Amino acid sequence: MSNDTSVPRPLEPDADRRSPGLRPRPAGAARPAPARQPDVELVVDCAVYVDGQRGEPVDPHDALRQAADRGGFVWLGLYEPSDAELGAIASSYGLHPLAVEDAVYAHQRPKLDHYDDGIFMVLKTATYVEHEQLTATSEVVDTGEIMVFLGANYVITVRHGDHGGLTELRRGLEQQRDLLCLGPSAVLYAVADHVVDDFVAVAAQVEDDVDELEASVFSSQRTDDIGRLYQLKRELMSLRKAVSPLELPLQKLSERQIDVVPEVMRSYFRDVQDHAIRVRDQVGGLDELLTSILQASLARTSQADNEDMRKISAWAGIIAVPTAIAGIYGMNFEFMPELQWRWGYPLVWLVILSACFLLYRGFKRNGWL
């Protein structure tokens, strides 16, 4: 992820600048995300937008004042902040401590929380992990999170994970002045639309894996795909958990009256909701298809086992004929039929071969061999 080197400075993780009311993590709660790499800065980008145009990079603590004075809004992008770092931002922007806690510790489900002076939205991101061949241990879907704080004059995006960067999104959005003129909610729309578009791409690539497994299960060659099917189903569940809960927050944004979301933006969020519903249905269909393929694979494995057992039983029946005859003549009784007859030995072989041939022909005709 490329960082904007023109940002004045990253925030210092000073514990004295924690947001008032930010509670320590309760026992048993999710742990915060791992610390950032030393070469990755907290502040990805920070700029004030007035009349849809970007201004010069500003200090994150002074950006909100400048935005309010100039009648614009500030877009601050953060990457995996600690509680002390985000607490300092929260003090400057008046963020609700509960929302700040969720943004620090991550591992949240998609949701939309409405506070007095703003909203807080959590979106799960997803990316497809390339692999030469799907195995029983392959990672297929990698997920992350984007949290968005939205107020009248600010939008703060907090990203967790190694993918889902918003640098290119910001550059593209800066070319759409008319959209940025609609305020901070335009940024929230663009982020949500970007996340859902990624879902569409991931679902399409997972569908290719499902098609490959389906062809393998129903191929003429005997394969064991149960492990791969189960792994892909688990990975698809991660995508489903990211997509399905997103429908309700988007519905709220498109239907309910929210102070920081202008009415004109509702149609934009309604469009994203439609896309999210289509992806949800596609992922649900893939999950059902995988279930059917898994059942078919299990049935085929059971059928193959039955065929093997029938073959073993058939050959055992054929071998039982010479075994029985040899066992009788191997009892070494003194008086037995044909022991002193010249053609006794060839006759026994003829009986054995004839019986084996008739059994083989019968088993072959019935499909046991």
Task: Output the CA angle 103-109-110, nearest 5 degrees.
Answer: 85
CATH class for domain 15-300? alpha beta
Proportion of the chain above pLDDT 90, given as a percent:
42
Same fold yes or no, 15-300 and 309-365: no
**Nearest Cα residue to 241 out of 187, 202, 191:** 202
Type of residue found at 308: D
**Nearest Cα residue to 242 out of 209, 302, 293, 196:** 196
In this structure, are strands 73-79 and 43-50 parallel, antiparallel, or unpaired?
Answer: antiparallel
Structural domain boundaries in the chain: 15-300, 309-365
Give per-residue pLDDT as tens, 228-256: 888 999 999 999 999 999 999 999 999 98
The answer to whether residue 154 scores a pLDDT higher than 60 is yes
Tokens of 130: 């390339």
Residue with tokens 């920070």: 46
Q: How far apart are CA 281 and CA 234, in angstroms?
A: 17
Type of residue found at 146: I
Indicate the pTM of the whole model: 0.75
Sheet with 111-115: strands ordered across: 53-57, 43-50, 73-79, 154-160, 141-151, 118-128, 111-115
pLDDT at position 333 is 66
Tokens of 363: 């088993």
Architecture field, domain 309-365: Up-down Bundle (1.20)
Backbone angles phi, psi at 158, to 5 degrees: -120, 120
pLDDT band for position 46 (50/70/90)?
A: very high
The answer to whether residue 153 scores a pLDDT higher than 50 is yes
The helix (H) or strand (E) run that includes residue 251 is helix 247-255
pLDDT at position 151 is 92
Give per-residue pLDDT as tens, 275-304: 999 999 999 999 999 998 888 887 777 767
